[in-house]
């Protein structure tokens, strides 16, 4: 078997808010790494946790561990090591998975003519962030229960491990959406030496996001970040196999674009008309 390894570092104020429930943070810290493994079509085996804490805070650690272990148990993986130290709050989880030789989904596998697919719904996590930021007014634009729903998307992402496994031999390339579709798809395009056109109107969205102004929708969908859905490409003849993989994994899959020879990323609307707007992926140093 080949090993697949993912290591993500989460920093307070940048990847999570200081007010987040520690259990949800424990879940998310592992989920983002399992999402990376899912994008490789890898089966998760184990993880390590390195944690810097401003002070020994038993309540925080207990909650964090509960959330982390609940997700680890769901995926049958073990925490095999780690490190705890004093320092500004920082969480680094490394997840290790395995995939049969030659079967890993790669960023470099996209071919001209492939269809572009995404799993689940996009943009809810970003919408929740915009509520926290005060850009979306909770009392005017969204009900409290709708906010709870999009907040769950932000704080409790579900890594698409089962879908990644089901897409082995079906998808030609894959990546998980962590910094926003506009930025993440470029990794596939660059590694594969291709371009793409994506239909903004086809991108799957929740009813909650669909009720927001169109400009905000577009920003959340195309450059939202924190989606932790899979974006993948497959040959057109594989559309039924892709849908079957989605069904086996219990997650919706939506066709939203096409791989083309012309380099770069182009956006169109549902009628195929070009959309000029440039979306920029989340930049951690911006």
Footprint of its own copies (CB under 8 A): 3, 5-9, 11-12, 14-15, 45-46, 48-52, 55-56, 80-88, 90, 92, 94, 96, 284-285
Q: Give CA separation, 218 vs 67, 148, 161, 221, in Å.
A: 32, 21, 27, 5
Closest CB to its own copies among 32 and 142?
32
Q: Which is nearer to its own copies, 3 or 210 (CB)?
A: 3
| CA 207 to the chain's CA centroid | 19
Under 8 Å between Cβ of 252 and 166 = no
- Name the minimum Å distance from CB 261 to its own copies: 29
By the 8 A CB rule, do 175 and 230 touch?
yes
**To the nearest whole angstrom, how small is the minimum distance from the Cβ of residue 184 to its own copies?**
14
When the beta carbons of 57 and 262 are compared against its own copies, the nearer one is: 57
Half-sphere exposure (CA, 13 Å, Cβ side) for 59? 1
Helix, strand, coil content of the chain in percent (nearest 5): 40, 25, 35
At its nearest, how many Å lie between its own copies and the CB of residue 98? 10
CA distance linking residue 93 with residue 31, whole number of Å: 10
132/282 with CB nearer its own copies:
282
**Cβ 145 to its own copies shortest distance, Å:** 32
Rounded-to-integer distance, Cα 164 and Cα 105, Å: 8
Handedness of CA 185, 191, 1, 10 (dihedral sign): negative
The answer to whether the beta carbons of residues 119 and 246 sit under 8 Å apart is: yes
- Longest pairwise C-alpha distance within the chain: 57
Judge whether 19 and 132 are in contact, CB under 8 Å.
no
How near is the Cβ of 99 to its own copies at its closest, in Å?
13
Least spacing, CB of residue 67 vs its own copies, in Å: 19
The least CB distance from residue 142 to its own copies, in Å, is 29
Find the shortest distance in angstroms from Cβ 57 to its own copies: 10
**DSSP assignment string, 180-236:** -HHHHHHHHHHHHT-EEEEEGGGS---HHHHTS-HHHHHHHHHH------EEEEE-G
Tokens of 129: 């962030």
């Amino acid at each position: 078997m080949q090993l697949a390894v993912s290591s993500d570092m989460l920093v307070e104020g940048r990847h999570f808010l200081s007010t987040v429930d520690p259990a949800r943070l424990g879940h998310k810290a592992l989920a983002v790494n399992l999402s990376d493994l899912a994008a490789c079509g890898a089966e998760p085996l184990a993880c390590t946790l390195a944690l810097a804490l401003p002070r020994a805070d038993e309540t925080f650690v207990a909650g964090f561990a509960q959330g982390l272990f609940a997700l680890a148990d769901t995926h049958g993986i073990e925490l095999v090591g780690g490190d705890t130290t004093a320092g500004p709050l920082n969480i680094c989880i490394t997840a290790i998975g395995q995939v049969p030789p030659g079967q890993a989904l790669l960023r470099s596998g996209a071919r001209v003519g492939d269809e572009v697919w995404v799993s689940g719904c996009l943009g809810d996590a970003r919408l929740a962030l915009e509520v926290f930021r005060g850009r979306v007014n909770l009392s005017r634009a969204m009900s409290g229960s709708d906010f709870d729903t999009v907040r769950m998307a932000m704080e409790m992402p579900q890594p698409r491990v089962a879908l990644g496994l089901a897409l082995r031999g079906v998808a030609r390339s894959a990546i998980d959406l962590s910094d926003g579709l506009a930025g993440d798809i470029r990794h596939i395009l660059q590694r594969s030496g291709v371009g793409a056109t994506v239909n903004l109107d086809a991108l799957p969205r929740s009813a909650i996001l669909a009720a927001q102004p169109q400009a905000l929708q577009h920003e959340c969908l195309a450059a939202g970040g924190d989606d932790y859905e899979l974006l993948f490409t497959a040959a057109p003849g594989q559309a039924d196999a892709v849908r079957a993989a989605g069904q086996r994994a219990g997650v919706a899959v939506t066709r939203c674009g096409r791989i083309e020879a012309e380099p770069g990323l182009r956006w169109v609307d549902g009628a195929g008309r070009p959309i000029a707007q440039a979306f920029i992926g989340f930049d951690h140093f911006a």
